[in-house]
């Protein structure tokens, strides 16, 4: 659920940021509990997520969290948690992100100071362009190794991995199954995401052969 904004930040007319321009340090201090993103001095508040959005985010977070923890691969975070990128520059709030063990030194008190190894964005009606164009470009330029764009309304899932030229290439599914490059051994049946009732974690773990 979206939190209330700081009372000392005056709203602006529709179509512009409700925040005054500020540094990233000021943003982290004033917007610590707000679902918002910072882009080159401007702050943008995100709409409250839908129940469906949150269920899919929670499902994906649970899968990654169990897989990463059981293999001691690093850490997984779910929004709200900031990822600071030097490209543009920007402070984004991915729905789910993974940071491998060898890069945990990038973690600060309340943000990741650099690109995650894997980022997942679940599209909302107001975020489709942002997730598929702006963030796609920023994540590619910043070096996010793997990027998932999940669009529940269109029942469309796109997966991108940086190639040897540091450019995103789309990775197709095989028989409806996507296998992660950043997390070898982790795979996902895309149709799971469109089910009215999402699979339980135990169901997926049995599919993976982990229990």
Report the CATH number that the domain containing residue 185 is assigned in CATH.
3.90.1570.10
The pLDDT tens digits for 35-93 are: 788 887 888 887 788 999 999 999 999 999 999 999 999 999 999 899 999 888 989 99
Domain count, the chain: 2
Give residue 48's Cα distance to chain centre: 15
The pLDDT confidence band at residue 4, using thresholds 50, 70 and 90, is very low
Name residues whose C-beta falls within 8 Å of residue 139's C-beta, 6 or more positions apart in sequence.
85, 115, 119, 147, 168
Q: Give Cα 151 distance to the centre of its chain.
A: 13
For the four alpha carbons of 66, 107, 117 and 24, in that order, the dihedral sign comes to positive
What percentage of residues in the chain have a pLDDT greater than 90?
66
Same domain, 204 and 114: yes
Q: Look up the domain containing 28 and give its range.
A: 1-45
Same domain, 68 and 147: yes
pTM (2 d.p.): 0.84
Same domain, 97 and 134: yes
Are residues 194 and 107 both part of a single domain? yes
Most confident of 32-41, 42-51, 120-129, 186-195: 186-195
What was the pLDDT predicted at 87?
Answer: 81
Q: Are residues 111 and 172 in the same domain?
A: yes
Q: Are 65 and 24 part of one and the same domain? A: no
One domain, residues 102 and 125: yes
Residues 55 and 114 in one domain: yes
Give the pLDDT confidence of 150-181 residue by residue, as tens digits. Answer: 999 999 999 999 999 999 999 999 999 999 99
Same domain, 31 and 64: no
């Amino acid at each position: 659920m979206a939190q209330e904004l700081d009372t000392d930040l005056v709203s602006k007319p529709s179509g512009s940021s409700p925040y005054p321009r500020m540094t990233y340090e000021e943003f982290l201090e004033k917007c610590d509990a707000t679902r918002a993103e910072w882009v080159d001095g401007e702050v943008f508040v995100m709409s409250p997520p839908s129940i469906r959005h949150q269920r899919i985010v929670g499902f994906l977070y649970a899968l990654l969290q169990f897989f990463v923890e059981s293999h001691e691969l690093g850490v997984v975070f779910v929004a709200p948690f900031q990822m600071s990128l030097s490209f543009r520059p920007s402070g984004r709030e991915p729905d789910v992100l993974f940071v491998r063990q060898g890069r945990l030194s990038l973690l600060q008190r309340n943000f990741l100071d650099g690109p995650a190894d894997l980022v997942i964005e679940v599209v909302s009606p107001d975020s489709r362009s942002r997730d598929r164009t702006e963030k796609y470009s920023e994540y590619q330029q910043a070096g996010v190794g793997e990027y998932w764009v999940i669009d529940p309304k269109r029942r469309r899932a796109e997966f991108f991995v940086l190639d040897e030229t540091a450019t995103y290439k789309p990775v197709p599914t095989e028989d409806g199954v996507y296998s992660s490059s950043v997390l070898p051994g982790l795979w996902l049946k895309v149709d799971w995401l469109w089910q009215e009732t999402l699979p339980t974690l135990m169901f997926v773990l049995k599919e993976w052969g982990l229990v």
